[in-house]
Amino acid sequence: MRETHNYCTFDYAVIRLVPRVEREEFFNVGVILSCPEHKFLEARIFLDEEKLKCFAPETEAESVRHYLDIIPKICAGERGAGVIGRLTQRERFYWLTAQRSTIIQSSPVHTGLTNDAKQTLEHLFEKMVC
């Protein structure tokens, strides 16, 4: 009998901080992962303040952190996430990963297979951000 692993597709995007949009320079600050089959949408965020100071000393870490902290709330559909937090999980994922010209942007969306969305998110976060 063949062993089944219950793999399903997932989509993810890397969250980037682009302090000076006109220079198109960025560093990674998080990952968002969506796995509709498991009803999973989460984000892991980490702002390296030392890197921010070196990269863009004029940018206030507290201001950036305020905006980054909203991302996991939107993923969870928390009340504090406003109108966007009331969208479906898939709509929230697409809203969060839409292309923008602000200092917080996402990479293109990538797709893969997983049998454990939370573990995959942690792996991607360690690989892409830490």
Q: Is 9's pLDDT higher than 90?
A: yes
What percentage of the chain has pLDDT greater than the value 90?
85
Angle of the 61-76 helix axis to the 89-96 helix axis, nearest 10: 150
pLDDT at 4: 55
Percent helix / strand / coil, the chain, rounded to 5: 40, 25, 30
Report the first-to-last Cα separation within the chain, whole angstroms: 41
Q: Is 81's pLDDT higher than 70?
A: yes
The reported pTM is 0.91
User: Mean pLDDT over residues 17-24, rounded?
Assistant: 88
List pLDDT tens digits, range 37-49.
Answer: 999 999 999 999 9
> Domain spans of the chain?
8-128
Mean pLDDT computed over every residue of the chain: 93
| CA quadruple 50, 53, 56, 60: dihedral, nearest 10 | 110
Q: Is 1's pLDDT higher than 50?
A: no
What token pair was written down for 89?
């999980």
Q: Is 3's pLDDT higher than 70?
A: no
Q: Is 88's pLDDT higher than 50?
A: yes
Q: Is 72's pLDDT higher than 60?
A: yes
Pairing of strands 8-17, 104-106: antiparallel
User: Mean pLDDT over residues 2-13, rounded?
Assistant: 82
List pLDDT tens digits, range 47-70.
Answer: 999 999 998 999 999 999 999 999
